[in-house]
Amino acid sequence: MNEFKSIVAIVAYGLEAFGVLIIVLGSGAATVRVIPQLRSRTLLEIYHEYRQVVGRSILLGLEFLIAGDVIRTVIVSHTLSNVAVLALIVVMRAFLSFTLALEIEGKLPWSGSAEKTSS
């Protein structure tokens, strides 16, 4: 059983490392993507696009971080205090994800997508 817990702990840390990697690479890719546009677009347009790309990479990275936390807490160290800490972390990250999604999309996640009509 200890071998299983060790393997699951490694998988959980791997998921968390992958989440961090997504955030770092997404931010770097966003930076590389906007640099050539500095001369052809306004700074405000570039800022909004940059913010959206970085925000999306943070959202995706947060999903992996939460998954790693859940797996590690449920399988490896499932004491009441660890579960309480996990619950607090998940609530904080979910709130962060919600606010980031609201900023990126400009609408509440459950409000549906507004379809554009062509005239």
Q: State pLDDT tens for residues 1-29.
A: 788 888 888 999 999 999 999 999 999 99
Position 118 pLDDT exceeds 50: no
- The pLDDT assigned to 113 comes to 60
Position 39 pLDDT exceeds 70: yes
Q: Are 47 and 95 in contact (CB under 8 A)?
A: no
- Which of 61-65, 74-78, 109-113 shows the lowest mean pLDDT across its residues? 109-113
Instruction: Tell which residue, 16, 47, 57, 50, has the closest CA to residue 33.
Output: 50
**Rounded to whole angstroms, how far apart are CA atoms 107 and 111?**
7
| Residue 63, C-beta contacts closer than 8 angstroms, at least 6 positions apart | 19, 97
Q: Are 58 and 23 in contact (CB under 8 A)?
A: yes
What are 116's two structure tokens? 């554009």
